[in-house]
Chains A and B, each alone.
Chain A
Amino acid sequence: TQLLEQSPQFLSIQEGENLTVYCNSSSVFSSLQWYRQEPGEGPVLLVTVVTGGEVKKLKRLTFQFGDARKDSSLHITAAQPGDTGLYLCAGAESGYSTLTFGKGTMLLVSP
């Protein structure tokens, strides 16, 4: 079973600050996804990365997949209160249809 470690577990920042959260594993993944879960809701997919070294941008969010496809990072520029939520990374190993989720990073952005 692959394990995904996310750090930090909790992050509290002021509006306008930048931040990076990390997702690390000793396993290689065929694809890695980032989800955001808002309070009282289910996780919603933000992005899927499949190629080592790949960088994807979604407005103020930048996602990077490590060259060896074992890790990923999510960078948020000029965070806003609407970015508050639980950020989950999830990896899929080829041959498996199930995603393995990390334990998440809880982000709180204060006005």
Chain B
Amino acid sequence: DTAVSQTPKYLVTQMGNDKSIKCEQNLGHDTMYWYKQDSKKFLKIMFSYNNKELIINETVPNRFSPKSPDKAHLNLHINSLELGDSAVYFCASSQTDTIYFGEGSWLTVV
């Protein structure tokens, strides 16, 4: 059983398009995250939600909009995609200090 699942795993899209990545966790955790991993493998937090409430919003363009319909889901919507948005996006969840990551969504903007 997958603890943190995100879809799609691969996404290739053109500049200017709008796309969404969905994430679900079945661990019963209160906190969920979106991380971005760039081409140099640097993992950086984008957003953190606790019980559907936004608690961390790092310096991320407002083209990125997270939505949490319930504490088991945290989706990421990206408007007007740019070349620099190409990266791997990881959803994650936690209850304490341990973070459980999804398998990642490879986004390529062409």
Contact = CB atoms under 8 A, between A and B. Distances in A.
B56 A44 contact: no
Contact of B97 (A44, A92, A103, A104): A92
Given A43-B43, A103-B42, A104-B41, A97 B31 contact: yes
Contacts of A33: 97-98
A42 interface: yes
B76 to A, nearest CB: 15
A42 B45 contact: no
Interface string B55-76: 1100000000000000000000
A48 B41 contact: no
Nearest to B90: A42
B56 A98 contact: yes
Give the size range of A's interface with the partner: 20 to 34
Contacts of B33: 98
Nearest to B42: A103
Please classify the interface of chain B as helix (H, G, I), strand (E, B), loop, or mixed, using the class held by over half of its residues. strand
Please classify the interface of chain A as helix (H, G, I), strand (E, B), loop, or mixed, using the class held by over half of its residues. strand
Interface residues of B, number: 24
A104 B55 contact: no
B98 A42 contact: no
A101 B101 contact: no
A99 interface: yes
Contacts of A86: 41
B97 A42 contact: no
Interface in B44-58: 44-45, 48, 50, 55-56
Interface of B: 4, 31, 33, 40-45, 48, 50, 55-56, 90, 92, 94, 97-104
21 contacts: A33-B97, A33-B98, A40-B104, A41-B104, A42-B90, A42-B103, A42-B104, A43-B90, A45-B98, A45-B99, A86-B41, A88-B43, A90-B99, A97-B48, A97-B55, A97-B56, A97-B94, A99-B45, A99-B97, A103-B41, A104-B42
